[in-house]
Amino acid sequence: MSVKIGISPISWQNDDLPDLTAAYTMEQALREAREIGYTGVERGRRMPADTEGLGRYLTANGLFLCGGWCSGNLLVNDVKTEIEAVRPQVEQFVALNAPCIVYAECSNTVQGNITAPVNDRPKFSAAEVKAYGAKLSELAKWMADQGMTLAYHHHMGSFIESEADVDALMEGSTPEVKLLFDTGHLLFGGADVMRVLDRWATRVHHVHFKDIRPEVVKDIRDNRKSFLDAVIAGAFTVPGDGCIDFRAVTEKLKAMGYDGWIVVEAEQDPAKAPPYEYSKLGYEHIVKICKASGLEIDLSRPS
């Protein structure tokens, strides 16, 4: 049993706030990620779009594809329509041996709207989430038949944000729907991070290590600012630089036999948090706590 450590290139190349990271290139992101010690990256929009090109690009940089975002529209699409919408990404990720597709419902989220307070995110009843979970289960079963796992990303500004939302979605869906366990989004959303991990350990397939700065989160909530305002202000940071006890998380991952990816995702203003410096801090903290928890790290790279 071992884990792999990957990173999202979002600290160098923020697709939602491109002006914030305009001084950085994807090539720099991958080069520095590899130099630090990361062995995988999640897909970014400024990587090659075609499967063969993307595969060559990542292999040349000594990095695996360790997942990638998928903007879901299952609330407004029927399952058949959604299958056709995501099919190209599923086929690409299967071909490149990615561990999962990071799926999040985006048809009604406020996460990308800088004028919309994150507090005003859509909220559904447990019954409505259950109905959505039934559709999501169909989609996840189809993905599983293709050889790909759907890992659902609860996300700030979306209708699956809080602990209760996560509970309702997991309860309302079949085991084919896996959970992307994101520490930072959970805590920002008011959840008990360890309680969610304890409750849904058997459904966790992918892990994002994201820390938060509580004082920034409080300001965002109190003053009705947007999710993008939160990113710019530094609500998120790397493991070891915020308030989350990641040692407790790795202890639980070890106990539950987790053998997937731990991915650092900590979008910030690079002028305040230089990507190389902070990504290195996050990596070193993960290595330290994995060692203390007896969680072996797989350092292999593509050849």
Task: For the chain of 303 residues, list the mean pLDDT of each consecutive stretch of 10.
Answer: 96 95 97 98 96 98 98 98 98 98 98 98 96 98 98 98 98 98 98 98 98 98 98 98 98 98 97 98 98 98 92
64/5 Cα distance (integer angstroms) = 10
pTM for the model stands at 0.97
Residue 190 Rama label (left phi>0; alpha psi -120 to 50; beta) = left
286/282 Cα distance (integer angstroms) = 6
pLDDT at 303: 85
pLDDT at 96: 98
Neighbouring C-beta atoms of residue 42, cutoff 10 Å: 24
CA atoms within 13 A on the CB side of 40: 26
Neighbouring C-beta atoms of residue 268, cutoff 10 Å: 25
Of 266, 233, 228, 292, the residue nearest 33 (C-alpha)? 266
On the 0-12 / 13-18 / 19+ scale of CB atoms within 10 A, 254 is middle
219/184 Cα distance (integer angstroms) = 16
Length of the chain: 303
DSSP 23: T
Of 91, 183, 85, 169, the residue nearest 135 (C-alpha)? 169
The identity of residue 199, as a single letter, is: R
**Contact predicate 158/109, CB 8 Å:** yes
223/215 Cα distance (integer angstroms) = 12
The identity of residue 271, as a single letter, is: A
With H, G, I as helix, E, B as strand and everything else as coil, classify residue 136.
Answer: helix
242/240 Cα distance (integer angstroms) = 6
pLDDT at 159: 97
Token pair 């085991």 is at which residue? 175
